[in-house]
Amino acid sequence: MAKKINIGLFGFGCVGQGLYHVLNNSKGFKANIVKIAVKNREKQRPLESSVFTFDKQEILDNPEIDLIVELIDDADEAFKIVSYALSKGKHVVTANKKMVASHLQELYNLQHEHNVSLLYEASSCGSIPIIRTLEEYFDNEQIEKLSGIFNGTTNYILTKTIAEKLSYEEALKQAQEKGFAESDPTNDVEGFDAKFKAIILALHAFGVIAKPEDVLNIGITTLSPHDINYASEKGYKIKLVPTVKRLTQNEISIFVLPKFVPVSNHLYSVDNEFNGVIVDGEFSGEQFLKGRGAGGNPTGAAVLSDISALSYGYKYEYKKQKQSPDIKFSNNALLKVYLRYNKEEDLKKFEFQNISEQYTGGEYHYVIGTIDLNDIIKNKAYLIKNKLFIGVVGEDISAVSKPKESVAKKLILN
């Protein structure tokens, strides 16, 4: 039988209000929000003032509250709240993907040390129940690859560039006007948000814990009409795709890059603010999940699902980590990519293993070839500074076997 839960809520923004709405309109499940901690004393809110507090300890040290729900924007403050609550024996539900991804090992240890549960389904892909799916459905099947569209803001922008031929700048402005993008969209459009989610899912899919600073993320800020035209001519859509790939039995690669997606790929039909996840299992093959990736109600529904699960005593078992204790994160991967460059000097910066296609025009130059992920990491700042665009082409991702001589300079000179 489900236990009635007394909740202490941190944050009452879009997601906090979404949770309040779905909690009060859900059928068959009731929980009591005892107190809501907020920061801005001047802001007008749609509930009685007695429900709110500006002192976090009023919630954290209240013995009647047995569940903390953390829904604030500040990742550092969120970690202080969550780690304190766990250390005091309180269960926690959070939607803060940056906080979780940045402190996975510490949060994992705190749960086991204090025998409490931390659930964070809402941190990854909105309303899609991907973490629980990985934990329960794929608990005993080896996963080969996990990829998808994890960020609704960038997907909305990219949808508009293809469907309506808008420029990146025009599509971003429209996304901001509709409330899909923040006034400062850096976290979304540069791929940080998607990276945090990929790191979280990598733990549940493969058992690996990676640090955000070690994982490559390149977003869509250098996208140009040339790249959009190339995609359209070839029948592709451009998507920002986080990828978690098994390279060897004990090596996993994680990266976030734009990708040229063909019509045969499940992600081709995931447009606007929707998210999609592809899980490739050793025996079951590809499984595809699609759902709303942003907004108060979809995320609030994911938070509510975690609260409900906690009422039945649910915990993440982190089965993959127990099954594969020796698994490691690695950037030693080979990718097939499209690189649009400005001048010959740009191309010489990159050590391509081979180049299968090359085009040089008046103002538009690109190559398609195989490159070491470490080489992209080394040149990330150069790519962005010089407004070059790079995107994955195809599904071929393999482990680096041994260093090979670059052929990029040969092909240019011959």
Summarize pLDDT for 354-366 with one digit per residue, the tens. Answer: 999 999 998 999 9
Same domain, yes or no, for 94 and 214?
no
Same domain, yes or no, for 275 and 162?
yes
Same domain, yes or no, for 108 and 161?
no
Same domain, yes or no, for 355 and 380?
yes
- In the numeric block, which tokens belong to residue 226? 């040339």
Looking at residue 149, which CATH number applies to its domain? 3.30.360.10
Same domain, yes or no, for 119 and 144?
no
Stretch 73-77: mean pLDDT, rounded? Answer: 94
132 lies in some domain: no
312 lies in some domain: no
328 lies in some domain: no
407 pLDDT more than 70: no
Between CA 395 and CA 271 the distance in angstroms is 20
Handedness of CA 66, 69, 70, 72 (dihedral sign): negative
Same domain, yes or no, for 100 and 235?
no
Same domain, yes or no, for 216 and 162?
yes
Looking at residue 406, which CATH number applies to its domain? 3.30.70.240
Same domain, yes or no, for 163 and 272?
yes
Q: Quick one: pLDDT band at residue 414, thresholds 50, 70, 90?
A: very low
Terminal Cα distance for the chain, rounded: 74
Same domain, yes or no, for 345 and 369?
yes
Residue 295 has what pLDDT? Answer: 67
109 lies in some domain: yes
Stretch 159-185: mean pLDDT, rounded? Answer: 85
Same domain, yes or no, for 143 and 275?
yes
Residue 134 has what pLDDT? Answer: 96
Q: Quick one: pLDDT band at residue 411, thresholds 50, 70, 90?
A: very low
Domain termination residue (choose one: 236, 269, 291): 291
Domain count, the chain: 3
Looking at residue 22, which CATH number applies to its domain? 3.40.50.720
297 lies in some domain: no
Contact call for residues 121 and 305 (beta carbons, < 8 A): yes
Residue 325, burial from CB neighbour count under 10 angstroms (0-12, 13-18, 19+): exposed
62 lies in some domain: yes
Between CA 360 and CA 226 the distance in angstroms is 12
Q: Which domain holds residue 86?
A: 5-123
Task: Please identify every residue annotated as catalytic.
Answer: 197
Same domain, yes or no, for 280 and 242?
yes
8 pLDDT more than 90: yes
Residue 301 has what pLDDT? Answer: 82
342 lies in some domain: yes
More confident residue, 34 or 407: 34
Residue 413 has what pLDDT? Answer: 36
Same domain, yes or no, for 38 and 166?
no
Question: pLDDT for 196-239, tens place per residue?
Answer: 999 999 999 999 999 999 999 999 999 999 999 999 999 999 99
Q: Quick one: pLDDT band at residue 406, thresholds 50, 70, 90?
A: very low
More confident residue, 227 or 29: 227
242 lies in some domain: yes
Question: pLDDT for 278-315, tens place per residue?
Answer: 999 999 999 999 998 766 677 888 898 999 899 889 99
DSSP symbols for 24-61:
HH-SS--EEEEEEE-S-SS---SS-GGGEES-THHHHT
